[in-house]
A and B are shown apart, each in its own frame.
Chain A
Amino acid sequence: MAKHSFSLSPLSSFILPRGDTLFYLIALFSIISLLIHHLSPVSAESRHFEGFDADEIDDFGDSDEPISAAKHLPPPPPTTTLSVSDPIESHHGPPSPSSDPTPQVTSQPSDPKPASTSFEVWDEDEFEGIPQYPPSDSPLITESDTAASSESDPGLKLEPESEPESPKSISSYTVEIVCVSFLIMFVINYFTGKKENEKLALAWASKFATKDSIFDKNFSLLGVGETDDSPLLLKEGQNVFKFYASGRRFCQGLLATMELKSRHDLISRLYNMVVPCKDEITFEVYMNDDAMDHVVVAVAKKKLAKTMQKEITDLQRFASLVSPPSGKKWIAEELAVVAESKEVAGDMINETVLDQVFGDKAYEKFGKGFISMHFSDQHLGSQKKMLVFKFALPDAKNMADMTRLVALVPYYIDLIGRYKLSTHARTKTDGARMKVAQEIYKELQNARQEAMQRKKAEQRKKVEEAEAKLSAEALRKKEAKERARQMKKAMPKMKMTRTG
């Protein structure tokens, strides 16, 4: 776990609060840059339009919306069709004073300039295709032609916009439709899924934690509060529910954590369609320190048992896979036991347990929801002696299916609370624990020493760097200063001698 958190820390530092300031900086920066981006063209436009009438400014102010611009400028599109400007461009010579161009110029004397200024204002990126026309035209065509070309531009500008109008109806809004409908589905699913999860958790609580149920008979305090009326379940997030019980012999308390499917989350729900997962409940029983002998046992399905043996540290250190003893009833074939010794395994998996849950026949019937079971007096963390049970939750309707599994919990608390290792086994386990403790101590010391050495090395480096920086210029200055000081020290003495 520690390794995990370490390896993730660079990523998490991005996401977690420390990175917040960075995000805000980025956010601020991008907002400012966007603002600048938006403001700059506007200010440029306004500067250009200072000399013109208010009507024209209005026109170009509205030109943000192409359709309204088309309404405001009715004359250009009919008069300046491509057929008009084409002959002029093909001639390229001095414009023949035909009847067409002159009335255009006279009728719209104010038009050409704003159009050209608007050209300067637009970014090249914005109209990638269009600005290629003017440079090819403008050097060759005289003033009267620029009017025509500039007038042809609004026509050009309007044409590509009027074209997409027709298919714009539905197909162009697919993204929006899909996203909005997904969001709506998401919101609906959030509430329904939330309710489903709550129902499931409540079904469990009403089955096992109400009056005259298993937990009520075994624990004096139920629920997360201090009083009896306190709520039984504590909700963490939308899919994690916790149930706490305390006040029983041999143990300090029991914490059941239900991790349900995230039904409230549509995305993970879709993901779970591909990769199915189960509703799980984990019981953690915190044993009293004097109530648990050296016991390290785990039971799980074969595959899981192997991975547990490799990955969980206390199993890794103390336990190994136990082969099924010959000539004795043993747990169902799918299951495997990881234990410190055969003796412990044999005592933990006794006749009653085999009868109730783990035997071949019983397991077929009741073992569906069993995931794993892990008892250890060497758990990592503050609470060392702990029993951990992991079961899969059935549907809300079939909650009774897991009654036998839940009944395992108080049974094992009593069994382990009373259990004492034989002296022979105890010496062995004592030895093993001593060894491990020494190893851990050594590792710790090594780690400390390394850390110390690193620190020293860093400090040395810092000092050296500082000296190196100082050395070149500062040394000279220092020397100069010292000289001056010495001179000063010498001077007053001289004075003293003079006066004295």
Chain B
Amino acid sequence: MSSPANDPRQPSTAKPYKPSPVAPQDLPIDYSGFIAVICGVFGAMFRYKICSWLAIIFSAQSLANMRNMENDLKQISMAMMFGIMGLMTNYLGVGPRGSKKT
């Protein structure tokens, strides 16, 4: 466009990039992680297969959307644990009931 004849660049004023610190409250809320935890708990408590599977799917989603490694990983791993635990009790554990419901 109408860039002037002289060079607009000023190397002397260049500042390196400083990532602006983002408060954890300002980060978008990880709904999928939240849903995953809830589903995982329900799946493990009441032995709903679907809940455990949903928990694993949603924790996979929140794993895919993870931005902040440390904070999110804890929560996601927890949701995963719940989901896997629910599945274990459903398919492997606790004899008659687990097999009966399938």
Contacts and interface: CB of A to CB of B under 8 A. Distances in A.
Are A and B subunits of one complex?
yes
Interface of A: 5, 8-9, 11-12, 14-17, 20, 23-24, 26-27, 30-31, 34, 38, 63-66, 122, 126-127, 160-161, 164, 168, 172, 175-176, 179, 182-183, 186-187, 190, 217-221, 223-226, 234, 236-238, 244, 246-249, 252-253, 255, 262, 264-268, 352, 356, 407-408, 410-411, 414
A231 to B, nearest CB: 11
Q: Of residues B11, B16, B64, which shows the largest number of chain A Cβ atoms within 10 Å of its Cβ?
A: B64
Contacts of A183: 56-57, 60
Contacts of A217: 3, 8-9
Instruction: Name A's interface SS.
Output: helix
B16 A221 contact: yes
Given A179-B57, A248-B8, A407 B25 contact: no
A172 B101 CA distance: 10
Contacts of B26: 5
Interface in B41-77: 41, 44-45, 49-50, 53-54, 56-58, 60-61, 64-67, 71, 74-75
A164 B100 CA distance: 9
B49 A175 contact: yes
B54 to A, nearest CB: 8
Interface of B: 1-4, 8-17, 19, 24-27, 29-30, 32-34, 37, 41, 44-45, 49-50, 53-54, 56-58, 60-61, 64-67, 71, 74-75, 78, 81-82, 85, 89, 93-97, 99-100, 102
A448 B27 CA distance: 28
A244 B20 CA distance: 12
Given A15-B29, A217-B9, 4 more contacts: A15-B75, A247-B15, A248-B13, A268-B61
Given A226-B16, A246-B16, A220 B57 contact: no
B25 A12 contact: yes
The secondary-structure label for the interface of chain B is helix
B71 A17 contact: yes
A12 B44 CA distance: 24
A20 B68 CA distance: 15
A223 B37 CA distance: 39
A27 B10 CA distance: 57
B11 to A, nearest CB: 4
16 contacts: A12-B29, A15-B34, A16-B71, A27-B82, A64-B95, A65-B95, A122-B96, A175-B49, A179-B50, A186-B60, A186-B61, A265-B61, A267-B57, A352-B2, A411-B3, A414-B3
A1 to B, nearest CB: 8
Contacts of A5: 25-26
A246 B85 contact: no
Contacts of A12: 25, 29
A176 B53 contact: yes
Nearest to A194: B64
B53 A175 contact: yes
Contact of B11 (A27, A226, A247, A253): A247
B16 A64 contact: no
Contacts of A238: 64-65
Nearest to B2: A352
B11 A220 contact: yes
Contacts of B93: 38
Contact of A265 (B25, B65, B81): B65
Contacts of B60: 183, 186-187
B1 A246 contact: no
A172 B102 contact: yes
A226 B15 CA distance: 8
A65 B91 CA distance: 11
A176 B87 CA distance: 10
Contact of A14 (B19, B34, B71): B34
Nearest to A244: B17
Contact of A190 (B17, B41, B64, B78): B64
Given A31-B85, A179-B53, A247-B11, A267 B61 contact: yes
B36 to A, nearest CB: 11
A414 B4 contact: yes
A247 B10 contact: yes
Given A15-B75, A221-B16, A249 B65 contact: no
B1 to A, nearest CB: 5
